[in-house]
Amino acid sequence: MTVRKHSRSPYWHYDFWYRGRRYRGSTKKASKVRAQEYEARLRCQVEHGRDPFQKYPLISDLLPQYLSWLEINRSAKHAKRTKLALSNVLNRMRKVKTTEDVTPARIEDFKKRRLKEVSPFTVNLELRHFKAFLRRCVKQGWLASMPLQIEQVKTPGRGRLVFLSLDEINPLLAELKPWAREAARLLLLTGLRLNEARFLEWSDIDLEAGELWVRNKPEYGFSPKDGKERPVPMPPELIEELRPRERKEGWVLPGKRGGQIGEKSFYLALLSASNAAGLAKRVTPHVLRHTYGSHLVMSGVDVQTVRDLMGHSSITTTAIYLHTDPKHRREAVAKLKLPAPKESEEKIIALRG
């Protein structure tokens, strides 16, 4: 441990190496004893892995902490997708080591090069994962503030929201096998996401109270979107359907071979049934959720209630259901009437004499 004094400086200076890196500079101390204490503290910080000259945290240090947080608080599937998206962003952003290096110019460069490989929707999805990573780091206290605002790529409109009209629901259900029909009816009557329904157990259902609970289930690697648990009231029609099948434990929706209903098998069953029913729409499990939200709004349920029922974090997401089908619009216009014109009263003139 040595400190030296330069002839032209009133301060003492340190100069040492640690694991191939050189640390040197002024102690800003005029006393040799104080300068040696300063150097000792500096060496201690370096040896314990804390770089005293690193003003901004390294992304390589933040990423493992974030992925560990995801494994605890999100589903394994979500954590896997996030890890892939962050890898795609960070591997294609040039010379990014710390959060200070994440600049608007580098984000724009990433967009330009990434758009040559994938669609704008995929680029925006990866950027959303990256923004969620930075926001979580700020929320956990690992990062002081967001380094920048990230704008997404402009995308072509997706067109109208796909949902089933009342005339299309029964033909679809008629073409489904019993195990898939039970699942489809549950989604149509509760608006659950597919995985929320797949991991629904009989212990989550209270038929007397007429509600079910969407819960976190880390033992199965399942977590609702954003980790939010919520109660969902069930209509009387669904309660009567579930009552004969009620069990003390086990999955509410068993698969075609028993056990838990398969994600892919149900997806393919819906596509096959929609083709057999002659529907022009590509019916997926999420279309059933869209159908639930759309018909709630068209029945006059306020948007805030629909938001709570569907578990949306933002009411702007729920706003996509503020639409109507052509038949509903025609019925609404048929109810429109103007007030009938009042008959003009004849003016009576009194005669004199």
Residues forming the active site: 193, 217, 286, 289, 312, 321
Place of tokens 């999955």: 251
Q: Which amino acid type is present at position 42?
A: L
With beta carbons less than 8 A apart as the criterion, state whether 224 and 217 touch: no
**Can you tell me the distance from the alpha carbon of 92 to that of 85, in angstroms, rounded to the nearest whole number?**
11
CA dihedral 188, 192, 195, 198 (to 10 degrees): -60
* Residue length of the chain: 353
Phi/psi for 57 (5° steps) reads -65, 145
Structure tokens at 118: 């994938």
Rg (CA), the chain: 32
In the DSSP assignment, the letter for residue 219 is: G
With beta carbons less than 8 A apart as the criterion, state whether 106 and 93 touch: yes
Question: What angle in degrees, to the nearest 10, is found between the helix axes of 104-114 and 76-92?
Answer: 100
**Can you tell me the distance from the alpha carbon of 236 to that of 209, in angstroms, rounded to the nearest whole number?**
11
**Can you tell me the distance from the alpha carbon of 217 to that of 221, in angstroms, rounded to the nearest whole number?**
6
